[in-house]
Amino acid sequence: MAARPRGGSGKSGRGVVETAGLAAKPGPEPSLSLDRIVATAVELLDADGLDGLKMRRLADRLGAGAMSLYWHVDNKEKVLDLALDAVLAQRAYHSVEDWREDIIRMLEDWRSCMLRHSWSASLLPLRALGPNLMNRLERLGAALSRGGVKDAELNVAIWSLWNFTMGATITRASFTRTDDTQTSGNEATLSDTAHPTLYRTRLLSDDDWDGVFRRGLDFLLDGFAGQPGRI
Amino acid sequence: MAARPRGGSGKSGRGVVETAGLAAKPGPEPSLSLDRIVATAVELLDADGLDGLKMRRLADRLGAGAMSLYWHVDNKEKVLDLALDAVLAQRAYHSVEDWREDIIRMLEDWRSCMLRHSWSASLLPLRALGPNLMNRLERLGAALSRGGVKDAELNVAIWSLWNFTMGATITRASFTRTDDTQTSGNEATLSDTAHPTLYRTRLLSDDDWDGVFRRGLDFLLDGFAGQPGRI
DNA sequence: CTGGTTTATCGTACATCGTACGATAAGATT
DNA sequence: AATCTTATCGTACGATGTACGATAAACCAG
């Protein structure tokens, strides 16, 4: 029959296990669960990128048969959706009272969070927005509102920061990848004559990504602050 | 399938074809070429998105055998690289003297150019930078430099605008896609209680993407201009 | 206990896709 | 005529997502 388990991880998932006191290390897999599937999927993605996630491999790693996954998950796409949102679940920053500083920390954490799992950056533009991502957007909007941004301008501000951060993250992750795999000869070749400006500023050689992100973010926030009627 | 340019069955192989006459419309495919391959690949991608591009389908559309493509192209990845860069080849704006207005036109054209081929937005973060893309970056850098941005700040400015534009384009394209295909139930559900701010400003309902992009861009440029020592 | 339903797992099989590996046939060159 | 180069294509193989039951354990009513 069609798998209709649906529903969140209501099942205890972690505990229970029961395994009747068997071995320790290569322990008898404590049975499948959505949480375990997603966690293992993230492991595989971290290890070998997008191509590293195969349903068979995922099942193997879980000590299960390939088709067993499909009782918990509709299809591979869903696994990717869940893995992506799982990455965004971990927040590693604490709020501060200064709204501007708060936003900066928030977005820097967001970015570093995705860069820790470089596959997520290239995946995000392809998938729907998960709940964890929505929560982050809400926090961002709240901080801006707290900072005095009027509702009429709030959407523009939110999207601008989002766009900036996503672009920076994706670009950064993309470069890391091309450095590793050295994709063919399409690699950016900027010549002195064809690209004098880029060549002069050594655009592609400067690797202070964090600094560029931070300073660009400052520019954007300055732009918001510069508008009359807003802090 | 009216077109039977060649590929006749039988061992006699293509009967010379010798299309000396140059037929009119469904003319006998003028033999393969890199340009034709890339152009047709873009057609397929436009029609059915990333999943629409299959090597067999591409060859069929070209009236050729699947493996014939591989004489001109290393592999499918290369086709994607070339298709992506081909999209960026068409510029549809004319420069103006005002550098700020020039940049705005440039980036709006860039964005609309990619949105006309929505697959390109989701593809870009995965591929290396092609020559046409580098040319656009060069023009952007030159305009900024012309506007008085010092070399020391030029990289930050270029990347900031790039990041902002890429993020906006990718996000926009992503939403168009999820609207069409209605990807599962992961669709953003923002509740009054969990996301009061987003709910209040109707973040996901506002569909004035162009306006949001334009106004966000203004903020960013304001940020540049606000710095002392720069225009 | 017995029989039936639900829950969860897995083996087999199939369709699809990228592409490796020659075979083959112009055209060019010797 | 012999040989090399350019270009095309058929066949086949391996990888992959997943449809389709078969199967067993857990649970429950009688």
For chain B, the domains span 34-87, 99-226
Indicate yes or no: CB of B127 within 8 angstroms of CB of A183.
yes
Residue A199 CA, distance from chain mean position: 32
Look at B28 and A15; give whichever has higher pLDDT: B28
Which H or E element spans position A51? Answer: none
Nearest partner of A175 among A217, A212, A221, judged by Cα:
A212
- Closest nucleotide to the alpha carbon of B77, via C1': C18
CB A59 within 8 A of CB A187: no
Answer yes or no: do B134 and A190 touch at CB < 8 A.
yes
Mean of all residue pLDDT scores within chain A? 81
**Which class for A112: exposed (0-12), middle (13-18), buried (19 or more C-beta within 10 A)?**
middle
DSSP alpha helix (H) spans, A28-93: 34-48, 55-61, 69-72, 76-87
More confident residue, B80 or A32: B80
Question: What whole-number distance in Å separates Cα of residue A195 and Cα of residue B124?
Answer: 21
User: Which of B154, B158, B188 comes nearest A128 by C-beta?
Assistant: B188
Confidence band for B175, pLDDT divided at 50, 70 and 90: confident
Q: Out of B154, B164, B206, whose CB is closest to A164?
A: B164
Distance from CA of A163 to the nearest CA of B (A): 4
How far CA A225 is from CA of A98, B50, B163, B221, B231, in Å, comes to 14, 41, 20, 13, 18
Max Cα–Cα distance, chain A, nearest Å: 72
* D8 nearest neighbour residue (CA to C1'): B68
Q: Summarize pLDDT for A149-191 with one digit per residue, the tens.
A: 889 999 999 999 999 999 999 989 887 666 554 443 335 567 7
CA atoms within 13 A on the CB side of A26: 3
CB A114 within 8 A of CB A169: yes
Q: Give A205's pLDDT tier (boundaries 50, 70, 90).
A: confident
Contact A203 B171 (CB under 8 A): no
3-class SS of residue A83:
helix
Kindly report the nearest CA distance between residue A178 and chain B, in angstroms.
7
Q: How far is the CA of A50 from the C1' of C21 (A)?
A: 29
A180/chain B closest Cα distance in angstroms = 12
CA-CA distance, B191 to B49, in Å (whole number)? 32
Top pLDDT among B16 and A55 is at A55
What would the CATH number be for the domain defined by A99-182+191-226? 1.10.357.10
pLDDT exceeds 50 at position A122: yes
Lookup: nucleotide whose C1' is closest to B70 CA:
C19
Whether B138 sits inside 8 A of A198 (CB atoms) is yes
Q: Which residues touch strand D (CB under 7 A)?
A: A 53-56, 66-67, 70, 75-77; B 6-7, 9, 14, 31-32, 59, 63-68, 70-72
Residue in chain B closest to A137 (alpha carbons) equals B198
The Cα B81–Cα A97 span in angstroms is 46
Among all residues of chain B, which has the CA nearest to that of A218?
Answer: B223
Q: Which CATH number fits domain B99-226: 2.40.30.10, 1.10.357.10, 1.10.3720.10, 3.40.50.2300?
A: 1.10.357.10
**Lowest-confidence segment of A165-169, A190-194, B133-137, B208-212 by average pLDDT:** A190-194
The structure's pTM equals: 0.83
Contact A198, A191 (CB under 8 A): no
B34-87 fold: Arc Repressor Mutant, subunit A (1.10.10)
Q: Is the pLDDT at A193 greater than 70, yes or no? A: yes
Predicted local distance difference test score (pLDDT) of residue B9 = 28
| Cβ contact B168–A163 (<8 Å) | yes
Question: Is B10 exposed, middle or buried, given 0-12, 13-18 or 19+ CB atoms closer than 10 A?
Answer: exposed
Measured distance CA(A80)–CA(A74) in Å, rounded: 11
User: Using the beta-carbon criterion (under 8 Å), do A126 and B174 form an inter-chain contact?
Assistant: yes
Residue of A nearest to B195 (CA): A138
Give the per-residue SS3 of chain B: CCCCCCCCCCCCCCCCCCCCCCCCCCCCCCCCCHHHHHHHHHHHHHHHCHHHCCHHHHHHHCCCCHHHHHHHCCCHHHHHHHHHHHHCCCCCCCCCCCHHHHHHHHHHHHHHHHHCCHHHHHHHHHCCCCHHHHHHHHHHHHHHHHCCCCHHHHHHHHHHHHHHHHHHHHHHHHHHHHHHHCCCCCCCCCCCCCCHHHHHHCCCCCCCHHHHHHHHHHHHHHHHHHCCCCC
CA B169 to chain centre: 9
